Amino acid sequence: MSDKVRDKWAEEIGPEEFTGLRTGGESGSAAGLPAVIMSVKHVFGAMGLSRGMKALFNLNQKGGIDCPGCAWPDPDGKRSPIAEYCENGAKAIAEESTTKKAGPDFFAKNSVSELSQLSDYELGKSGRIAQPMFLEEGEEHYKEISWDDAFKEIGEELNGLESPDEAIFYTSGRTSNEAAFLYQLMVREYGTNNMPDCSNMCHESTGVALSETLGIGKGSVKLEDFYETEVILIMGQNPGTNHPRMLTALQKAKRNGAIIISVNPLFETGLKAFKNPQEIKGLLGMSTDLTDHYLQVRINGDMALLQAIAKLLLEEENANPGKVLDHEFMAENTEGAEAYIQHLQNLSLDTLVENCGIPIEQIREVVKAIRFKNKMIICWAMGLTQHKNSVDTIKEIVNLLLLKGSIGKAGAGTCPVRGHSNVQGDRTMGIYEKPPKNLLDNLERVFGISPPREYGYDTVDSIKAMHRGKAKFFMGMGGNFLSATPDTHYTAEALRKCNMTVHVSTKLNRSHLIHGKRALILPTLGRSDEDFKNGQRQFVSVENSTGVVHSSHGKLKPVSEKLLSEPEIICRMARAVLPGSKIHWEKFVLNYDYIRDAIEKCVPGFDDYNRRVRRGRGFYLPNGARQGDFETDNGKAKFTVSDISPIPLDEGEFLMMTIRSHDQYNTTIYGLNDRYRGIRNERRVVLMHREDMEEMGIENKAVVDLYNNHGGRARVAHNFIALAYDIPRRMVATYFPEANVLVPVKSTAEYSNTPTSKSVVISIRKN
Ligand SMILES: Nc1nc2c(c(=O)[nH]1)N[C@H]1C(S)=C(S)[C@@H](COP(=O)(O)OP(=O)(O)OC[C@H]3O[C@@H](n4cnc5c(=O)[nH]c(N)nc54)[C@H](O)[C@@H]3O)O[C@H]1N2
Ligand SMILES: Nc1nc2c(c(=O)[nH]1)N[C@H]1C(S)=C(S)[C@@H](COP(=O)(O)OP(=O)(O)OC[C@H]3O[C@@H](n4cnc5c(=O)[nH]c(N)nc54)[C@H](O)[C@@H]3O)O[C@H]1N2
Ligand code: SF4
Ligand SMILES: [Mo]
């Protein structure tokens, strides 16, 4: 590779240098006192004592700030008056509410290429973006621009395109319901459904699988269901890091007698044991064991495991007729059971066992433990959704629940655990490249617009469209498109081809640096920032992973007077882009109640929105599957038949999963440690099985390059430290986003088009 290419690549991914790996000190249990210390350190370090206290006391309280971290639900009832948040919630709020800011002088001092020499961690430390910034064509520095001029530039650019379909409007999942609704309204009045979102890379496979089988693309359980369930199966999820307050729910479930089964290629600390920092016992170091059965599955071995479990349950049913499967439920509420059972009978148990990589005795133990239970919750996240056959695997989860009659009743159901704090709400608001007909009909009826009816581009198709020159304008409502998407260098080429890239952002990230001919950064208020309109404090609303819609009230003074709220940015942009629009955009910004009134008219389930959202705990959206009402074509839940599809590995090839460390929020890097896994001060690591390393003559901590040539395109990730780790043979793990250069843009899940970020075929060579 030429030095020139490598220099260009370096800008697109940041430095490939090491930061000084230290290993050891893996934790045996999650949270406890160290989590409290880390929380305090991050929050007070970023914003000082009094602002920090204010932020923390308001976090996740009724009438307070909804945590900008993950989408795990808050308790409906009593909340802890001191701390209804976790270490990562504290880090998320610290990251957002820092008092440090990147003013015009910061951008004058640092050119775009100088900024790209910084790591993602360093970029995040530059503080909140404090004013709108514009990068003129051919310039090296972003310069301050007025809001009016920024909107004018966007208006001219969008109105100069040959077709609205040449524009792409991405959304990340932190955007509030109010902003999301206005955004999709503006984009559809402008004339396109090109609305990709982070969900396309996240739980899209879940949405597809659940809609088809249960009639709703969202999970069915409530938080309370955890307290009365008998079995919790946690697949492909690392809640100790990514949904830490879920551990409190698991602890309570456990105390109420539930059995917990974890399925993961790694032995994740947070699944093993938990020290509840809200209990004196937890702070003193006493932990609760969580997982009863830990199944170390091979990457993408989940479907084989689920089928093996179902097959053995069938055997148990034959031995104990009427005691294991719920025939009554199946007969009344489902279709396809016979074909499914027939299919199970034809499968070879040996093949399934070989493919999931778990000893048969262990699977039998699990089956024995759950055979007579009939209240089961299955939780899953990215370990299941980001594979080629993800949709089929998730349908297999549904099969298992249906066999057990474990859906549509208390203590049982589906629990896809969502990532971004409002990713589920954004979809409900219509952030979707395949909008439902009734939404478009309602927009037409209520606003008199003619929304386009053809589907738009999702995330992967957007990248390809920009790369082919079919799309020329990119806007990101939050997020970090360049670093979050697959095939970083390919995506960089795509973005660089655009005429204009626009980002509505709180913090600087690499997507601002790999830009179109001209680029804008529009700085916005975050969740925690106060937002006054006409002297009245405004609030926004969000939907959590269990379908509860509730309010979030900014409480902290914004770091700059030049920040606008997302709703205001959209309304003012709409005026500039759609001068003839009949929609009264100005009104929405007078009081956000008007936005909620509009949502109520267009989106089902939001009756009496303004009143109900003001109740402290908010309200549940309708959810048929929760009641056992399956809104499929014939009202029945569907069994489906799928086959395992093992991923072939040639000699020297490995299957790589890209995962999150304990010190990051997606592409935002809070720190360089992965405390629970015992990896410190380094992110460029590849976790490998010791014997694989020995076979390849790679010593522990040797430096390697990772590469593949999928689809004929050479991809290399230089400089990774190989670490011997307890992981199945021929499988490796790296961190996202450093390893995204290796995820082929063309390798996506069937039916959902989600990049296969958890099963990337790579080779490894010594550096
Ligand atoms: N602190 C923090 N919180 C977050 C985020 C964050 O980055 N940081 N991100 C948010 C977002 S957007 C999301 S989507 C969620 C993500 O939450 P998770 O899905 O928990 O995140 P990942 O780190 O991607 O890890 C998935 C887990 O799946 C396992 N895994 C990988 N492949 C397989 C497989 O084939 N089978 C099985 N059974 N397991 C597998 C990995 O070992 C890992 O434990 O978290 C949200 N919350
Ligand atoms: N290889 C690999 N790739 C993955 C994944 C993986 O597991 N492996 N996971 C995928 C998943 S699950 C997801 S969800 C995506 C995440 O993709 P994105 O959502 O695009 O990425 P984030 O890193 O969450 O976005 C962070 C940026 O959002 C901006 N931001 C933060 N808060 C706000 C706000 O309140 N308003 C606005 N306007 N901007 C804000 C900040 O500028 C920050 O830099 O990545 C995906 N990519
Ligand atoms: S579990 Fe998620 S939502 Fe709750 S405090 Fe932690 S990061 Fe925030
Ligand atoms: Mo996500």
Give the start-to-end residue ranges of the domains of the chain.
3-27+649-766, 30-96, 98-201+422-624, 205-416
Pocket probe mutation, ligand 1, options 264, 302, 725, max atoms within 8 Å of Cβ: 264
Which band of pLDDT confidence, cut at 50, 70 and 90, is reported for residue 754? very high
Pocket probe mutation, ligand 3, options 245, 546, 666, max atoms within 8 Å of Cβ: 245
φ/ψ of residue 499, rounded to 5: -75, -40
Which pLDDT score is estimated for 81? 64
Residue that is written with structure tokens 């001919």 in the block: 517
| Closest residue by CA, ligand 1 atom 27 | 237
CB-based contact 280:369 (threshold 8 Å): no
Residue that is written with structure tokens 């305090």 in the block: 40
Which pLDDT score is estimated for 284? 76
Residue that is written with structure tokens 């569907």 in the block: 638
| Closest residue by CA, ligand 1 atom 38 | 236
Alpha carbon of 719 to those of 10, 147, 526, 653, 764: distances in Å?
12, 42, 35, 18, 11
On whether the 3-27+649-766 domain is CATH 2.40.40.20, my answer is yes
Asked whether the predicted pLDDT for residue 585 surpasses 80, the reply is: yes
Tell me the DSSP string of 93-135.
HHHHH-S-EE-HHHHHHS-HHHHTTS-HHHHHTT-EE-S-EEE
Asked whether the predicted pLDDT for residue 528 surpasses 70, the reply is: yes
How many Å lie between the centroid of ligand 1 and the Cα of residue 241? 8
Tell me the DSSP string of 420-435.
BTTHHHHHHTT--SS-
Tell me the DSSP string of 204-242.
HHHHHHHHHHHS-SS----TTHHHH-SEEEEES--HHHH
SS3 assignment, position 447? helix
H helices of 437-591, in order, are 437-447, 459-467, 481-484, 488-496, 566-577, 585-590
Q: Which residue has the higher pLDDT, 39 or 254?
A: 254
Atom nearest to 236 CA in ligand 1? 39
Which pLDDT score is estimated for 9? 82
Residue that is written with structure tokens 């406890």 in the block: 32
Tell me the DSSP string of 70-100.
B-PPPPSS---SS----HHHHHHHHHHH-S-
Ligand nearest to the CA of 95: 2
Pocket probe mutation, ligand 2, options 65, 121, 174, 754, max atoms within 8 Å of Cβ: 174
Which pLDDT score is estimated for 129? 98
Q: Is 743 in the pocket of ligand 2 (CB under 6 A)?
A: yes
How many Å lie between the centroid of ligand 3 and the Cα of residue 88? 6
Which pLDDT score is estimated for 31? 85
CA–CA separation, 526 and 61 (whole Å): 17
Which pLDDT score is estimated for 693? 98
End-to-end CA distance of the chain: 14
H or E element: which one contains 624?
helix 624-627
Mean residue pLDDT across the chain = 95
Q: What is the mean pLDDT of residues 244-262?
A: 96
Alpha carbon of 45 to those of 39, 122, 125, 199, 418: distances in Å?
10, 16, 12, 32, 29
Q: Is 477 in the pocket of ligand 2 (CB under 6 A)?
A: yes
Which band of pLDDT confidence, cut at 50, 70 and 90, is reported for residue 7? confident
In tens, the pLDDT along 203-223 reads 999 999 999 999 999 999 999
Q: What is the mean pLDDT of residues 120-147?
A: 97
Q: Is 659 in the pocket of ligand 1 (CB under 6 A)?
A: yes
Q: What is the mean pLDDT of residues 526-538?
A: 95
Q: What is the mean pLDDT of residues 233-259?
A: 96
Which band of pLDDT confidence, cut at 50, 70 and 90, is reported for residue 123? very high
Asked whether the predicted pLDDT for residue 82 surpasses 70, the reply is: no
CA 218 to centroid of chain Cα atoms: 14
Q: Comparing 62-66, 289-293, 533-537, which segment has the lowest mean pLDDT? A: 62-66
Comparing CA positions, the residue from 542, 478, 546, 483 lying closest to residue 511 is: 483
Stated length of the chain: 767
Cα-Cα-Cα-Cα torsion 380, 383, 386, 390, nearest 10 degrees, comes to -60
Q: Above pLDDT 70, what percent of the chain?
A: 99
How many Å lie between the centroid of ligand 1 and the Cα of residue 717? 21
CA–CA separation, 168 and 406 (whole Å): 41
Q: Is 134 in the pocket of ligand 2 (CB under 6 A)?
A: no
CATH annotation of 98-201+422-624: 3.40.50.740
Q: Is 71 in the pocket of ligand 2 (CB under 6 A)?
A: no
In tens, the pLDDT along 676-693 reads 999 999 999 999 999 999
What angle is formed at CA 110 by the lines to CA 106 and CA 114, rounded to 5 degrees? 145
φ/ψ of residue 736, rounded to 5: -85, 135
How many Å lie between the centroid of ligand 1 and the Cα of residue 652? 26
Atom nearest to 485 CA in ligand 2? 47
Q: Which residue has the higher pLDDT, 276 or 238?
A: 238
How many Å lie between the centroid of ligand 4 and the Cα of residue 120? 18
Angle between helices 360-370 and 349-356 (to 10 degrees): 100
CB-based contact 90:39 (threshold 8 Å): yes
Residue 171 neighbours by CB under 8 Å, 6+ apart: 180, 183, 195, 196, 197, 198, 426, 431, 476, 477, 478, 479
CA–CA separation, 131 and 165 (whole Å): 29
Which pLDDT score is estimated for 1? 63
Angle between helices 302-319 and 349-356 (to 10 degrees): 140
H or E element: which one contains 294?
strand 293-295
Ligand nearest to the CA of 237: 1
Which pLDDT score is estimated for 666? 97
How many Å lie between the centroid of ligand 3 and the Cα of residue 145? 36
Q: What letter would DSSP give residue 454?
A: S
Atom nearest to 509 CA in ligand 2? 44
Q: What is the mean pLDDT of residues 18-40?
A: 85
In tens, the pLDDT along 391-401 reads 999 999 999 99
Q: Above pLDDT 90, what percent of the chain?
A: 87
SS3 assignment, position 721? strand
How many Å lie between the centroid of ligand 4 and the Cα of residue 266? 20
φ/ψ of residue 180, rounded to 5: -65, -45
Tokens of residue 206, six digits: 């879940």
Q: For domain 205-416, give the CATH superfamily.
A: Dimethylsulfoxide Reductase, domain 2 (3.40.228.10)
Which pLDDT score is estimated for 595? 98
Which band of pLDDT confidence, cut at 50, 70 and 90, is reported for residue 46? confident
- pTM for the full model? 0.97
Q: What is the mean pLDDT of residues 621-635?
A: 96
Burial class (CB in 10 A: 0-12, 13-18, 19+), 614: middle
Tokens of residue 269, six digits: 């600390």
Pocket probe mutation, ligand 2, options 97, 125, 129, 172, max atoms within 8 Å of Cβ: 172
SS3 assignment, position 438? helix
Q: Is 188 in the pocket of ligand 1 (CB under 6 A)?
A: no
For the chain, the farthest-separated pair of C-alpha atoms sits apart, in whole angstroms, at 76
Ligand nearest to the CA of 239: 1
Which band of pLDDT confidence, cut at 50, 70 and 90, is reported for residue 76? confident
Which band of pLDDT confidence, cut at 50, 70 and 90, is reported for residue 42? confident
Q: Is 744 in the pocket of ligand 2 (CB under 6 A)?
A: no
Which pLDDT score is estimated for 3? 74
How many Å lie between the centroid of ligand 1 and the Cα of residue 237? 5
Cα-Cα-Cα-Cα torsion 579, 583, 589, 591, nearest 10 degrees, comes to 160
CA–CA separation, 451 and 670 (whole Å): 40
CA–CA separation, 367 and 370 (whole Å): 5
Domains 98-201+422-624 and 205-416 share a fold: no
Asked whether the predicted pLDDT for residue 288 surpasses 90, the reply is: no
Count CB neighbours of 144 within 10 A. 17
Atom nearest to 239 CA in ligand 1? 20
In tens, the pLDDT along 550-573 reads 999 999 999 999 999 999 999 999
Q: Which residue has the higher pLDDT, 79 or 249?
A: 249
Asked whether the predicted pLDDT for residue 604 surpasses 80, the reply is: yes
- Taking CB atoms and a 6 Å cutoff, what residues make up the pocket around ligand 3? 60, 67, 69-70, 72, 85-86, 88-89, 92, 243-245
